[in-house]
Amino acid sequence: MTLKISVVGTGYLGATHAACMAELGFEVIGLDIDQAKIDSLALGELPFHEPGLPELLRKHVATGRLRFTTDYDQVADWADVHFVGVGTPQRADGHGADLRFVDAAVRELARRIRGEALIVGKSTVPVGTARRLTSLIEAEAQPDSRIMLAWNPEFLREGFAVADTMSPDRLVIGTQDTESVDILRKVYAKALAADTPLIVTDFETAELVKVAANAFLATKISFINSFAEVTETIGGDITTLADALGHDVRIGRKFLNAGVGFGGGCLPKDIRALQARVSELGLTHTMGFLAEVDEINLRRRERVVRLTHAMLNDDLVGKKIAVLGVTFKPDSDDVRDSPALDIAVRLYNAGAEVTVYDPKGNKNAAARFPRLDYAPGLAEAVGGADVVLLLTEWAEFRQLAPGDLDPLVASRRIIDGRNVLDRAVWEADGWEIIGMGQHYAPLDAQP
Ligand code: UDX
């Protein structure tokens, strides 16, 4: 008998997981408490940008293998495996993760399940959550039910969500029983290559793998950005340094791109939640370095603001600034904790006229900061700019040549916040161009 699957929470993670489970051949129901989201998904419309996902969604809404509901009774009655992929946002007080949605989802399921079922947590949670949820399940469960719990963290990246789900680097399952592992092996059978590592472990390790991975990635980015601060002061080339470091296979080149720093819905929130959790455990100093990682990261934004001031002789009032890219990374429409958007708003607050253009992010950014100007295309954004800021490395911007902008930008000033332009080519064309990690005499002390 084929397993029937529910996915509770149809945000980024849940919608991707539901569509991919249908693609793997299962019958799937996605559940969310947000009726508007469910209505749109049921019509095959994805409320966010993710390459390849709309096609999967439409395909399986059409085959009938993928349905959507807001009704817990329906899924609790029907599914054998319930994936929980609801959000764990930063708490309003800034300390730790808000687990309201995870608790509510597990409680609503546990109350209604009859017979046997497996609940699989996918959300990123503070260590200790799964063990606590076993007590919650016990307290809420019907006498005639048998509910198992497993923790199966999700490592997908925005922009690659489908590929990361359909062929993961590794699968981590935290559990207290072997039956859940057998069930999850069946669920993922077609997604696992012969050599995909399957790591079966306890709840705590499974929860920690996820936050440790994100803490490591964040640390790697801030590590190279801390060296960018050094080369900004004394000179040197941060990209060559990263390339040379990356040739050491123990280090690797990935996540060593200096720039405006990391943002998005995961890395910043997860390192803060991890610090809060270890403090609760009485280990405040153990993760003290993550506070530095966060600070180095936020200083990158400040750096771009200061560079802009310096390039415009400290007079931003009425100056036209074109911001290219506003999402936290390319191939996404996500502006959560986006360094680019933060920089744009700071420059606006300093009196500049800021015009933003992003291939996919204008709408989400405008919803948050309607006062900035949003241009429909690159030419409209940069026309007459006193300075152009490239802040998110969309392919469209990486490919820019000075000749593309020459007729539009008489000032010929550009800040490359992602180090993706060939500085020598732009300088040869008469541009003043500054990248990240670059010494800039008007701003930095002479060595
Ligand atoms: C991240 C993790 O990679 C993923 O495994 C996890 O499941 C969720 O969080 P994502 O938020 O999609 O995924 O973004 P990622 O590709 O990791 O990039 C995060 C941020 O780091 C972006 O703002 C990006 O621009 C920045 N970054 C990345 C750098 O500044 N330099 C780099 O070298 C790499």
Taking the C-alpha atoms of residue 329 and residue 24, their distance in angstroms, rounded to an integer, is 28
The Cα–Cα gap between 398 and 120 comes to 40
Cα(266) to centroid(ligand 1), Å? 8
CB 152 within 8 A of CB 118: no
In the predicted structure, residue 197 carries a pLDDT above the cut 70: yes
Structure tokens at 37: 């989201």
Please name the residue whose Cα sits nearest to atom 9 of ligand 1: 266
The conformation of residue 97, written as its DSSP 8-state character, comes to B
Measured CA to CA, the distance from residue 389 to residue 134 in angstroms comes to 50
Give the burial string for 184-216 (b: 16+ CB within 10 Å, else e).
Answer: beebbeebbeeeeeeebeebeebbbbbbebbbe
| Confidence tier at 447 by pLDDT (50, 70, 90) | low
pLDDT in tens, 386-426: 999 999 999 999 999 999 999 999 999 999 999 999 999 99
Is the pLDDT at 446 greater than 80, yes or no?
Answer: no
Contact 123, 151 (CB under 8 A): no
Ligand 1 atom 26 nearest Cα: 262
CA of 387 to the centre of ligand 1 (A): 27
Output the ligand 1 site: residues, CB below 6 A: 155-158, 214, 217, 221, 255-257, 259, 261-264, 266-267, 328-329
| pLDDT for position 398 | 98
Question: Which atom of ligand 1 lies nearest, measured to the CA of 330?
Answer: 25
CB 81 within 8 A of CB 120: yes
The reported pTM is 0.96
Q: How far apart are CA 323 and CA 382, in angstroms?
A: 8
pLDDT of 444 reads 85
Q: What's the confidence (pLDDT) of residue 92?
A: 86
Alpha carbon nearest to ligand 1 atom 24, residue = 262
Centre of ligand 1 from the C-alpha of residue 331, in Å? 12
β-strands 145-151, 171-175: how paired? Answer: antiparallel
**pLDDT confidence of residue 445:** 73
The answer to whether residues 269 and 275 touch, using CB atoms and an 8 Å cutoff, is no
Ligand 1 mean position, distance from CA 340 (Å): 14
Note the pLDDT tens digit of each residue in 136-156.
Answer: 999 999 999 999 999 999 999
In 3D space, the residue among 151, 154, 178 whose CA is nearest the CA of residue 166 turns out to be 154
pLDDT digits (tens, 9 = 90+) for 102-141: 999 999 999 999 999 999 999 999 999 999 999 999 999 9
Both structure tokens of 441: 């005499």
Q: Could you tell me which of 130, 158, 122 has the C-alpha nearest to residue 267?
A: 158
Per-residue pLDDT tens over the stretch 279-320: 999 998 999 999 999 999 999 999 999 999 999 999 999 999
Complex ipTM more than 0.85, yes or no: yes
Helices (H), 281-394: 288-311, 339-349, 362-368, 378-382
Minimum-distance ligand 1 atom for the alpha carbon of 154: 7
* Shortest-distance Cα residue to atom 16 of ligand 1: 157
Can you tell me the distance from the alpha carbon of 423 to that of 436, in angstroms, rounded to the nearest whole number?
Answer: 11
Q: Are 222 and 296 in contact (CB under 8 A)?
A: yes
Domains of the chain with CATH codes: 4-201 (3.40.50.720), 216-435 (3.40.50.720)
Q: Cα separation of 381 and 344, whole Å?
A: 13
Average pLDDT over residues 202-216: 98
Question: Which distant-in-sequence residues (6+ apart) come within 8 Å of 34 by Cβ?
Answer: 10, 70
User: What's the pLDDT score for residue 422?
Assistant: 97
Q: Ligand 1, residue 256: give the atom nearest the CA.
A: 33
pLDDT of residue 93: 83
Q: Report how far residue 318's alpha carbon sits from residue 117's, in angstroms, rounded to the nearest whole number.
A: 62
Active site residue ranges: 266
DSSP structure class, residue 189:
G
For residue 94, the model assigns a pLDDT of 77
Tens-place pLDDT, residues 155-185:
999 999 999 999 999 999 999 999 999 999 9
Using CB atoms within 10 Å of the CB of residue 445, give its burial: 0 to 12 exposed, 13 to 18 middle, 19+ buried. exposed
Of 225, 267, 300, best ligand 1 pocket probe by most atoms within 8 Å of the beta carbon = 267
Closest approach atom of ligand 1 to CA 260: 30
Distance 267 CA to ligand 1 centre (A): 7
